[in-house]
Chains A and B, each alone.
Chain A
Amino acid sequence: MKTRVKEFFTVALFFVSSIMLAQQDISGTVVEQDTGGGLPGVTIVISGTNKGTTTDFDGNFTISANKGDLLIVSYIGFDTQQITIGDETSISIQLAEGQNKLNEIVVTGYGTQIKKEVTGAVAVIGAESIEKLNPVRIEQALQGQVAGVNITSASGAPGAASNIRIRGVATNGDNRPLILVDGNVIEDLAVINPRDIESVNVLKDASAGIYGVRASNGVILITTKGGRRNMPLKIELNTYTGVQNAAKQIGVLNATEYGFIINESQVAAGNNAPFTSLNALGKGTNWQKQVFQQAIISDTNLTATGGTEKSNYSFGLGYLDQDGIVGGEKSNYNRIAARGNYTLDLLNNLQLKSTAIYTRSNQDRLPENGIGSVLFNALNMNPTLPIVDSNGAYTLAEGLGAEVINPVAQLENNYNTSQINKISATLGLEYTFLNDFSIQSRFQYNHANVKSDIFKPVVNYGSGKVFNIDRNELIENSDNFQDYTWDTFLTYEKSISNHNIKVLLGQSIFKTYGTFESYTGFDLPSNVYGESSLADATEIVDNQEQNKERGANTFDVRLLSHFSRVQYNYKGKYLLSAVVRRDGSTRFGPNNRFGIFPSGSVGWLVSDEDFFTNNNVINFLKFRASYGIIGNDRIGDYRYVSTLAGEATYVSNEERVFGKAEGALSNPEIKWEEQVTSNIGLDANLFNDAVNLSIDYFVRKTKDLLLSAQVSGILGASAPGSSAPTVNAGDIENKGLEFLIGYQGNITRDLKMNVSYNFATLQNKVLFVASENGFEQGGGFGIGLEPPSRMAAGEPIGFFYGFETDGVFQNQAEVNAGPTTDIAPSVGDLRYIDQDDDGDVDLDDRVNIGDPIPDITMGLNLGFNYKNIDFSSSAFASIGNEIVRNYERNQPFVNRRSAVLDRWIGPNSSNENPRVSAGANPNGLFSDYYVEDGSYVRIQNIQIGYTFPDEVLNSMNIKKLRIYGSVNNVHTFTKYSGYDPSASSGDPIGGGIDQGFYPVPRTFMVGLNLTF
Chain B
Amino acid sequence: MKKINTVLGAFTIMLLVVACSDDFIDVPSKNENSEEFFNSQEDYEEALIGAYDLLQSTYLNVMLGEIASDNTLAGGESATDVPGIQQVDDMIHGTTNEQLRAIWGWMFAGVNRANYILEYQDKTDFSGKDNIIGQAKFLRAYYYFELVKWFGDVPLAVDKRIKFGEQFTVERTPKAQVYAQIEADLIAAAAALPATQSVVGQATKGAAQSLLGKVYIYQDKFNEAAPVLASAISGPYALVIDYASIFEHAGENGTESVFEVQYTDVEGAGFECLQCSEGNVAVGFNGIRQYDGPTFDSGFSFNVPTQEVVDSFEAGDIRKDVAILDIDAWNTENGSSSGEGYEHTGYFNRKYIARKGDLNTGDQNLTNPNNYRAIRLADVLLLAAEANNRKTPANDAQALVYLNQVRQRAGLSALTVTGPDLRQAIAQERRVELVGEGHRFFDLVRTGAASREIDGFVAGKHEVFPIPQVEIELAGSRWAQNPGY
Residues of A in contact with B (beta carbons under 8 Å apart): 1-2, 5, 398-399, 401-402, 431, 433-434, 437, 439, 441, 456, 462-464, 466, 468-471, 473, 486, 488, 490, 507, 509, 522, 550-552, 554, 556-560, 584-586, 590, 593-594, 637-638, 641-663, 665-667, 710-722, 725, 771-774, 783-786, 822-823, 842-843, 890-892, 918-920, 924
Contact = CB atoms under 8 A, between A and B. Distances in A.
Contacts of B201: 650-652
A919 B298 CA distance: 24
Contacts of A924: 80
Contacts of A469: 362
A113 B96 CA distance: 58
Contacts of B109: 713, 716-719, 722
Given A439-B14, A471-B360, A488-B17, A464 B275 contact: no
A557 to B, nearest CB: 8
B164 A725 contact: yes
SS of A interface (majority): loop
Contact of B20 (A509, A593, A651, A822): A509
Contacts of A661: 47, 50, 53, 113, 116
Contacts of A918: 78
Contacts of A667: 164
Interface in B48-106: 48-50, 52-56, 77-84, 87, 92, 94, 96, 98, 101-102, 104-106
19 contacts: A2-B3, A398-B339, A431-B10, A471-B360, A641-B33, A643-B29, A650-B53, A651-B262, A654-B266, A660-B43, A665-B164, A710-B470, A715-B112, A715-B163, A715-B164, A715-B167, A772-B476, A890-B78, A920-B80
Contacts of B263: 651
Interface string B226-261: 000000000000000000000000000000000000
B27 interface: yes
Contacts of B368: none
A593 to B, nearest CB: 6
Given A594-B22, A642-B33, A441 B13 contact: yes
B415 interface: no
B474 A772 contact: yes
B168 interface: yes
Interface residues of B, number: 107
Contacts of A551: 30
Contact of B53 (A585, A648, A890): A648
B7 A434 contact: yes
Contacts of A719: 53-54, 106, 109-110, 112-113, 275
B167 A714 contact: yes
Contact of A556 (B27, B32, B275, B475): B27
Interface string B134-157: 000000000000000000000100
Given A439-B14, A719-B54, A658 B264 contact: no
A891 B77 contact: yes
A590 B23 CA distance: 10
A488 B13 contact: yes
Given A2-B3, A713-B105, A822-B92, A644 B31 contact: yes
Contacts of B49: 648-650, 657-660
A771 B470 CA distance: 11
B18 interface: yes
Contacts of A441: 13, 17
Given A439-B10, A490-B14, A593-B25, A464 B289 contact: yes
Q: Which of A466, A473, A552, A663 has the most chain B CB within a 10 Å cutoff? A: A466
A550 B34 CA distance: 13
A387 B42 CA distance: 57
Nearest to A400: B77
A652 B262 contact: yes
Contact of A560 (B22, B37, B369): B22
Contacts of A920: 79-80
Nearest to B82: A784
A433 B7 contact: yes
B267 interface: yes
A463 B292 contact: yes
Contact of B273 (A433, A556, A663, A720): A720
B111 interface: yes
B300 A712 contact: no
B318 interface: no
A416 to B, nearest CB: 14
Contacts of A650: 49, 52-53, 55-56, 201, 262
Contacts of B475: 712, 714, 772
Contact of B111 (A552, A716, A891): A716
A718 B163 CA distance: 14
Given A5-B7, A456-B362, A647 B339 contact: no
Q: Which of B17, B79, B299 has the most chain A CB within a 10 Å cutoff? A: B17
B6 interface: yes
Nearest to A349: B6
A654 to B, nearest CB: 6
Contacts of B278: 649, 651, 656
B29 A558 contact: no
